[in-house]
Chains A and B, each alone.
Chain A
Amino acid sequence: MNPLPDLVCPAGSLPALKAAVDNGADAVYLGFKNDTNARNFAGLNFDTKTMADGIRYAHGKGREVLLAINTFPQAGRTGDWHKAVDAAVDLGVDAIILADIGLLDYATHKHPQQRLHLSVQGSATSYEAINFCQREFGIRRAVLPRVLTLAQVEHVINRTTVEIEVFGFGSLCVMNEGRCWLSSYACGESPNTVGACSPAKYVKWDKQPGAMETRLNGILIDRFGDDEAAGYPTLCKGRFDVLGETYYALEEPTSLNVLEILPEILKIGVRAIKVEGRQRSPAYVTQVTRTLRAALDSLCDGNERFHVKPAWQAELAKVSEGNQATLGAYNRPWR
């Protein structure tokens, strides 16, 4: 049997990091309080002191800390991203998750001993792209974008010695990771440039009698009745009038949930399973981490056939966006 994949959980704050560690994450991933990471939201993330505290806490319990520097250096400011890489090495993180090829080049030359992972924002979906990054920058792991079927993930794993990490749970977007400019279309800023999709300063929740309207830089994204669940204020999750019909023209708000296919994920040799949501609270991290930990542990029990417990599904459904979950691209019939 392949080794159990590592459970990699998100931390936007020190309490979230501790929640991940205490509930069974093998690794936590986090970011600095600036635009070098793709969850650059007000009040979120770590300054150098809290990060040092967090690393001490995780290492004290034998867990890894992965630092995401997964945005793209902006013109004239490359130095800020180089400083972030240097600071990550000084802090002693177990790996740095990078997306930009220039930064990968900088990191591998300046810090040849540092373990590097290729971020999902690097948009590498083929073994050729992954092996290129291994040859040129010595990456040890790649996080796959959420566009491949399980068979395609297996195809990649069989043709590379780079560890493969896949998403296991969390909000889905249009999954054009590292290449999405929808947010910039609406407000001129996007994860690649400022580290945030649909930044909060452009978002307006407008309460009206019987409904709430969401606008992104003035563009009406959606209108929710009082008895309807609301969704994230992003263009990809809006309901739009298309030829006289109003519906989710790009995609419905939904969450990825791979519980059902965990045995297949183990079988094909996935090295790590990632949970989305550094912007979510310690309560979310607790609920998702302990559920996936229980499911992963039951995989290696060996005594009984793996089956998804209703309690796990209920726990994950509670924190799912749109209150519905899918297997995403993993079980897509078309390619």
Chain B
Amino acid sequence: MSNAFTIPKFQLPGFIASLGQKLPQWPHALALIASLNVAKQMKLLPEDSLTELNDKLFFVRVRDTGGEASFTYRNGTFRPVFRSEREPDLAFSANLSAYLQLLARQEDPDTLFFNRELEITGDTELGLLVKNMLDAVEWPTLPRLPRLPIADR
């Protein structure tokens, strides 16, 4: 239907997750949190929804890379949590391809959730708020690349 580039559903080989779990978790946790803070500073995230995130503990796991990140939102900033002593208020778990498809707005989060490709556990209302907050973000449009002849086939 569309000739646009699409992200396929894929699962990385098992050894990557077992390797990933042995690597330090802080680099990608910091990258994720830095991205969230940039999005906030660019005023892409709605303030009324952000206040609802105060002091909540979030956990994101990428199943097939073994990557994990815990973070919270406090005093207007997303902050990493390296040692958590309580259960997260909201936890996401999915393969890398599902996260990429979500970010690219290629797949619907409800579809991924009901197909069990995206697991969301914890406070359901908070999960819905985060989902709707991300859906409402107007990502800045990137400069359009010149169309290749192949795209017009």
Contact = CB atoms under 8 A, between A and B. Distances in A.
Contacts of A47: 48
Interface residues of B, number: 34
A16 B49 CA distance: 18
Contacts of B116: 224, 226-230
Interface stretch (A152-160, A173-181, A243-251, A287-295): A287-295
B124 interface: yes
Interface string B122-137: 0011111111110111
B115 interface: yes
Contacts of B111: 284, 318-319
Contacts of B55: none
A319 B121 CA distance: 22
A160 B108 CA distance: 39
A199 B109 CA distance: 18
A150 interface: no
Interface stretch (A63-71, A72-80, A136-144, A203-211): A203-211
A12 B137 CA distance: 12
Contacts of B2: 290
A283 interface: yes
Contact of A42 (B109, B113, B132): B132
B132 A44 contact: yes
Contact of B114 (A16, A231, A279, A315): A231
A335 interface: no
Contacts of B132: 12-13, 41-44
A14 interface: yes
Interface string A207-247: 10000000000000000101111110000000000000000
Given A201-B124, A311-B1, A15 B137 contact: yes
Interface string B84-126: 0000000000000000000001111111011110011100111
A284 B108 contact: yes
**Interface secondary structure of B, over-half rule:** helix
Contact of A43 (B105, B114, B128): B128
Nearest to B104: A283
B137 A283 contact: no
Interface in A279-316: 279-284, 286-287, 290-291, 294, 311, 315
B138 interface: yes
A285 to B, nearest CB: 9
Contacts of B121: 205, 207
Nearest to A231: B114
Given A15-B135, A205-B121, A291 B1 contact: yes
Contact of B120 (A50, A205, A231, A322): A205
Q: Chain A: interface residue count, which band?
A: 35 or more
B128 A229 contact: no
A15 B136 contact: yes
Nearest to A314: B1
Contacts of A229: 114-116
A114 B108 CA distance: 35
A315 B106 CA distance: 12
A200 B131 CA distance: 12
A318 B48 CA distance: 33
A283 B136 contact: no
Nearest to A294: B1
B128 A41 contact: yes
Contacts of A321: 114
Contacts of B138: 14-15
Nearest to A41: B128
A200 B105 CA distance: 23
Nearest to A46: B136
A200 B127 contact: yes
8 contacts: A13-B132, A14-B138, A41-B128, A43-B49, A43-B131, A47-B48, A200-B128, A321-B114
Given A14-B136, A47-B48, A282-B105, 20 more contacts: A12-B135, A13-B135, A15-B135, A15-B137, A15-B138, A16-B135, A44-B132, A200-B128, A203-B124, A205-B124, A229-B115, A279-B110, A281-B135, A282-B135, A284-B108, A284-B110, A284-B111, A290-B2, A321-B114, A322-B114
